[in-house]
Structure 1
Amino acid sequence: MKISLVPLVCTLLIPSAFADEKGGLEKDAAPPAPHALEEGYRGTENARIMTVDHAKTMHDGATISLRGNLIDDQGNDRFVFRDKTGTIHTIIPQSVFDGRTVKPDNMISINGSLDKKVDPPVVRVDMLQK
């Protein structure tokens, strides 16, 4: 019994002794500061940034998150939303406003889905933050 255990223990220990030290994470250099990153995932705040121009290129039914201003009320829950890249039409039911008043100079965030079946495309807003 002792003789059969010795080869087994040796076979388990030898591969780790000859393991190569390459691969994995090398911690020789410090990572860049978060503000110095040029691209890539940088957290939930940056993941939510989207522009009107980018939203217009997305597929029908895509989830949209925009930050900008409501600049025009076209009646029947239809509004024009603008950010630094352009404008897009939105449908915002009164229940989404939840009694809040929004002025054109108020910066707001809207979340909803893109409807490209109509022309021009609209964002059907289901959440508004002031």
Structure 2
Amino acid sequence: MKLSVAPLFCCLLIPTAWADDNGGLKKDTAPPPPHALDEGYRGTEDARIMTVEQAKEMHDGATISLRGNLIDGSGDKYVFRDKTGKIDTIIPQSVFDGRTVKPDNMISINGSLDKKSTPPVVRVDRIQK
């Protein structure tokens, strides 16, 4: 039993001795300061909500996130406005989840752009006050 454990133990140690230092994180240089970054993910600094103007230029089926106000509408059809313009939205009552939204309430909506409709509409699947 002791003889079979010793060769096994040696086989596990040998590969680490032959491993060469080709990849992974090398900590020999300091990272650039945050203000010098020009590409890549930077967390909440990069997260931004698009405008209605930008949303209208997106492709059909694009995921849309907008921040502004619901200014008019009833049933499932509403008009959403931000500082750059207006866009029609379709918001099922289930998305409101019992919440009341007034025209002076700033809200965020998430959904998908339907450019097959004329004019384009956003099919909203989430509202956040």
Q: 2-side partners of 1:91 and 1:40: how far apart?
A: 34
1:80 corresponds to 2:79: yes
Q: 1-side partners of 2:51 and 2:26: how far apart?
A: 35
Partner of 2:32: 31
Percent identity over paired residues: 77
Q: 1-side partners of 2:39 and 2:82: how far apart?
A: 22
Q: 2-side partners of 1:111 and 1:40: how far apart?
A: 24
RMSD between superposed Cα atoms in Å: 3.1
Partner of 1:6: none
Task: Look up the SS of the partner of 1:47 in the other structure.
Answer: coil
Partner of 1:96: 95
How big is the shift at 1:31?
3.2
How big is the shift at 1:111?
0.6
1:96 aligned partner, one-letter code: V
Greater shift in the superposed pair: 37-46 or 91-100: 37-46
TM-score by length of 1: 0.69
Partner of 1:61: 61
2:90 aligned partner, one-letter code: I
Contact 1:41 1:47 in 2 (8 A): no
Q: 2-side partners of 1:54 and 1:39: how far apart?
A: 21
Aligned length: 114
TM-score by length of 2: 0.69
